[in-house]
Amino acid sequence: MRKWLYIFVLACVLVGCKEYQVSNDPSLRLSFSCDTLSFDTVFTEQGSATMQVMVYNDNKNAVVIDRVWVDGSFFHVNVDGEADLSQVTRLQVNGGDSIYVFVRVEIDPTKANNPVLIRENLHFHLSSGIDQQLVCEAYGQDVTRIRSKNGRSEYAKYRFTNTKPYLLFDTVIIGQLTLEAGARLYMHKGASLYALGDVESKGTKENPVVIQPDRLDNLFDSVPYRFAAGGWNGIYLQATDSQNYNLQYTDILSGNIGLYCMSDRKDKLPRLTMNGCRIHNHAVYGLVLQNVHATVINSEISNCASYCVYCQGGTHDFIHTTIASYYGETNIRIQSTGKENVAAVYVHNLSKETPETVTSFYNSIVTGPREKEMVLATPFEQYYPGTIQGSWIGQDTANNVFRNTFYKYKEYVYYDFRLDSLSPARGIGDSGTASKYPKDREGIARTGEGIKPDAGCYQYQP
């Protein structure tokens, strides 16, 4: 027994000695888990998430790294637990072994309106005299910051221009709000935007207004943070008098609540008009209408953990609008909250404390995987004054209403609420309604010779 133990120990020692032998052979190289370490757009002075690189020694013998440095000042590196690169000397990487390298980037204000590419080389100088390099690159974007020390920023009026993006850190309260075409608002975790007066969002099909989370890196693997709901709080239009809200081609993405439009009035209700908008991927509600008259045209409201649309008090007309409730329909866990077992649309007409709720759907779609995707809470449903015309409302039992209702992250296929070739929403739209809105959200004609208008905001295209 002792003889076999002696042989085993001797073999381990011999193998260990051979493996740990240092070589200065200039033909030996380290290998990296990537050739270029690329960061997504980083806001100036904001810093970035930390990215990881593996450095491998695939050789038989050990290799010694004499020193490590970056030929610039934007990227900050931690090598095998050491953040001070001047202390990284004579670092031995044994044969078949590896080390961790962590990199983050901080970009100073550039005063540039467009992203600027920052590229630096991370050098690994070996004791053999060989210098190996890893390219680090990031796009730096200067932004206008809106921040307050007490958690609230208040403005009598504010105009968001398209000159450069805005980064909102907390609760911003504005009286009169204007957003120019192409304005970009990045919302930090917990940030909210309140408007107490008139709102004018002037996006266009070619140059929309976009409101989204400020995390532009990846959650993990190839999944961007913007695919995860709850990245910020929400947009609140809170009428203090009889206000007008006009939103054209405005995308509100991946918050807790997309757009919450409310008032305490029983008469002279505020009026909301939405045209070409997209409210998508929210951890609670998409669009909430309380004591508001609303007209929603050529818009998509999709993928919310609770109701995509909640209506209580006021007259609400949805015209060529797609309401799709497929939140969490994926084989990868990216959401912080699960889908509630609720309908895509809830119409509340039971309260005596609010004006009557009259919600109508013209050439629209309300659907999802649940058995009942629209709930009409009213005393006598058969006498409800709302209208449903030229619309497809019901359960998507065959998963053929839209092109794709399931997020396939390995195939890089995201939800697509344009119509499937077999969609039951094709050709059912009312021609009279379509003639008033002859083009869909993407500018495709839905009227003309040989064209039958489809329900929803997207006219079918092969």
For the stretch 338-369, pLDDT in tens is 999 999 999 999 988 889 999 999 999 999 99
312 has a pLDDT exceeding 70: yes
| pLDDT value at residue 448 | 92
pLDDT digits (tens, 9 = 90+) for 415-438: 999 999 999 999 999 999 999 999
- pLDDT band for position 315 (cuts 50, 70, 90): very high
Question: Could you tell me which residues come within 8 angstroms of residue 19 by beta carbon, excluding any fewer than 6 positions away?
Answer: 60, 61, 62, 94, 95, 96
395/373 Cα distance (integer angstroms): 6
92/40 Cα distance (integer angstroms): 32
Which residue, chain included where needed, has tokens 């909640």? Answer: 310
Looking at the fold, whether 127 and 39 belong to one and the same domain comes out as: yes
Q: Which residues pair with 91 in a beta bridge?
A: 65
406 by DSSP, 3-state: which?
coil
Angle at 458 between CA 453 and CA 460, to 5 degrees: 65
Which residue type sits at 129? G
16 has a pLDDT exceeding 60: no
| pLDDT value at residue 371 | 94
CB 425 within 8 A of CB 419: yes
Which of 13-17, 18-22, 143-147 has maximum average pLDDT? 143-147
Has residue 289 been placed in a domain? yes
250 has a pLDDT exceeding 90: yes
Which residue, chain included where needed, has tokens 């990296």? Answer: 32
CB 343 within 8 A of CB 304: no
Which residue, chain included where needed, has tokens 């970056």? Answer: 70
CA nearest 456: which of 388, 390, 373?
390
Count how many domains the chain has.
Answer: 2
Angle at 203 between CA 45 and CA 303, to 5 degrees: 80
126 has a pLDDT exceeding 60: yes
**Considering 115, 141, 167, which residue would you say is the last residue of a domain?**
141
256 by DSSP, 3-state: which?
coil
The tokens describing 256, both together, are 């807790």
Looking at the fold, whether 284 and 399 belong to one and the same domain comes out as: yes
Has residue 3 been placed in a domain? no
CA nearest 362: which of 287, 452, 295?
295
Q: What is the dihedral of CA 44, 45, 51, 57, to 10 degrees?
A: 100
Phi, psi of 67 (to 5 degrees): -160, 160
CB 314 within 8 A of CB 292: yes
Has residue 323 been placed in a domain? yes
Which residue type sits at 410? K
**Considering 91, 116, 141, which residue would you say is the last residue of a domain?**
141
pLDDT digits (tens, 9 = 90+) for 209-229: 999 999 888 887 778 999 999
Q: Which of 9-13, 61-65, 174-178 has the lowest mean pLDDT?
A: 9-13
Question: Could you tell me which residues come within 8 angstroms of residue 399 by beta carbon, excluding any fewer than 6 positions away?
Answer: 369, 405, 406
CB 427 within 8 A of CB 391: no
| pLDDT value at residue 39 | 85
328 has a pLDDT exceeding 90: yes
Has residue 357 been placed in a domain? yes
Looking at the fold, whether 132 and 244 belong to one and the same domain comes out as: no
| pLDDT value at residue 161 | 97
Looking at the fold, whether 186 and 230 belong to one and the same domain comes out as: yes
Looking at the fold, whether 430 and 322 belong to one and the same domain comes out as: yes
| pLDDT value at residue 150 | 66
- % of the chain exceeding 70 in pLDDT: 94
152 has a pLDDT exceeding 90: no
Domain ranges, residue 77 = 22-141
CA distances from 71 to 75, 81, 135, 216, 426 (A): 9, 20, 10, 25, 59
- pLDDT band for position 111 (cuts 50, 70, 90): low
334/332 Cα distance (integer angstroms): 6
232 by DSSP, 3-state: which?
coil
99 has a pLDDT exceeding 80: yes
7 has a pLDDT exceeding 50: no
The separation between CA 381 and the C-alpha centre of its own chain, rounded to angstroms, equals 38
- pLDDT band for position 149 (cuts 50, 70, 90): low
Which residue, chain included where needed, has tokens 């919450």? Answer: 260
434 by DSSP, 3-state: which?
helix
CB 240 within 8 A of CB 230: no
Looking at the fold, whether 126 and 154 belong to one and the same domain comes out as: no
CATH number at residue 107: 2.60.40.10
Looking at the fold, whether 97 and 36 belong to one and the same domain comes out as: yes
276/319 Cα distance (integer angstroms): 11
Looking at the fold, whether 408 and 273 belong to one and the same domain comes out as: yes
Looking at the fold, whether 261 and 128 belong to one and the same domain comes out as: no
CA nearest 201: which of 217, 220, 216, 179?
179
| pLDDT value at residue 1 | 45
pLDDT digits (tens, 9 = 90+) for 166-221: 999 899 999 999 999 999 999 999 999 999 999 999 999 999 999 999 988 888 77
Has residue 8 been placed in a domain? no
Has residue 166 been placed in a domain? yes
346/324 Cα distance (integer angstroms): 13
The separation between CA 193 and the C-alpha centre of its own chain, rounded to angstroms, equals 17
Looking at the fold, whether 105 and 153 belong to one and the same domain comes out as: no
Cα atoms in the Cβ-side hemisphere of radius 13 Å centred on 70: 22
Looking at the fold, whether 224 and 318 belong to one and the same domain comes out as: yes
3 has a pLDDT exceeding 60: no
Has residue 98 been placed in a domain? yes
404 has a pLDDT exceeding 60: yes
Average pLDDT value over all residues in the chain: 91
Separate counts of helices (H) and strands (E) for the chain = 2, 40
Looking at the fold, whether 226 and 289 belong to one and the same domain comes out as: yes
- Answer positive or negative: Cα dihedral of 328, 333, 335, 341: positive
Has residue 155 been placed in a domain? yes
**Considering 141, 172, 190, which residue would you say is the last residue of a domain?**
141
